[in-house]
Amino acid sequence: MSAFRDWRRWDAPLFCAALALALVSAVAMVSAAATLNPRLALRHDCWILIGILLSWAVSQTAYHRWTDAAWAAYAASLTALLLVPLAGAMRLGATRWLSIFGLSVQPSELAKAATIWLLARYFAGQPNPLPPRAVWISLAIAVPPALLIFAQPDLGSASVLGAIWLGMAWCAGMTPRMLAGLGVSVLLLSPAAWHSLKAFQRDRLLAFLNPHADPLGAGFSVIQSTIAIGSGRLWGRGWFAGTQNQLNFLPERHSDFIFSVIGEEWGFAGCLALIVLYGLLLVRIARIGLRASDPQGQLLAGGVFSWLAYQACVNLGMVSGLLPVVGVPLPLMSYGGSSMVVVWVALGLIQSVHRGTE
């Protein structure tokens, strides 16, 4: 009975939206993995279940306990990122995974949550509006993991950390003048950043402008993805009936391009339903943040909101050809144990913030 009462203290719409997204992903994964490796669907289901259980466990502890351990979590995530180039496994031209007791762990996902915890703890003790010194110190927290992730190379996940920092700094009281100054600085550093990219990363960014210039190379993924989504029309071709998916034309269909599978098999109606679910999820996170009883709770919600909103928008944009392909998973949908579990843990933290306002 006590466990049932604990579940009732959750924010039901938030949990239901997250659960619906995860269940949709479980169904879509069966089709996406059918000609790739059918066991991936079962593993995906296991990660969803583990994520939900950990989410419940995290929600039972006051969120202040988690932010009190922020420095330890941050240090652990940096250590894991430093170990990646030394002992990590290379896949698809990048070294992003560590093998721990036979499990592949992606430290960049852990770094997202740890950075949010630490920034929430730091920003909560700063005045509003945020002084310049606090802005620079917060950047000193966010930049090291971002640079280590960028060096893997993983431009997409590094940019997620930038979005997290920006969203939390704005919530903490960064002035428009500071924001404008940072924007100018980014523009001035853009040429150097461009030359620091790997050749395949530059090719992907250029392919965004004209994917048909290299239809069998850098532009192949986005071309096949847009064909898949467009061929679904209003109601889709049907489960297991997507030709781009089942005939293996769609790359990474179980991970970064899972939305393309849904667009092809479930059509515009299925895509719209997913977007509505993401909207509900983000609205509930924002509502919990606005009602939080202290700055730490508000900032935790702001960080998780910035993370999931940015990552979802970038993924949906890249698979539909509206943004460059930078390789970020769709939260609660794409295959990947680290991503699935860490997102559920973050949602458990938001549930803890909600419980603290009751």
Burial of 69 (0-12, 13-18, 19+ CB in 10 A): middle
Mean pLDDT along residues 8-15:
86
Beta bridge partners of 97: 89
CB 117 within 8 A of CB 67: yes
Average pLDDT value for the chain:
89
pLDDT digits (tens, 9 = 90+) for 208-248: 877 877 777 777 888 888 998 988 899 999 898 888 888 88
CB 172 within 8 A of CB 164: no
Q: How far apart are CA 139 and CA 119, in angstroms?
A: 9
Q: What is the pTM of this model?
A: 0.93
CB 172 within 8 A of CB 126: yes
pLDDT digits (tens, 9 = 90+) for 75-128: 999 999 999 888 766 666 667 778 777 778 899 999 999 999 999 999 999 998
- What's residue 258's pLDDT? 94
Percent of the chain with pLDDT over 90: 59
Q: How far apart are CA 90 and CA 257, in angstroms?
A: 20
- What residue type is 88 in one-letter code? G
Length of the chain: 358
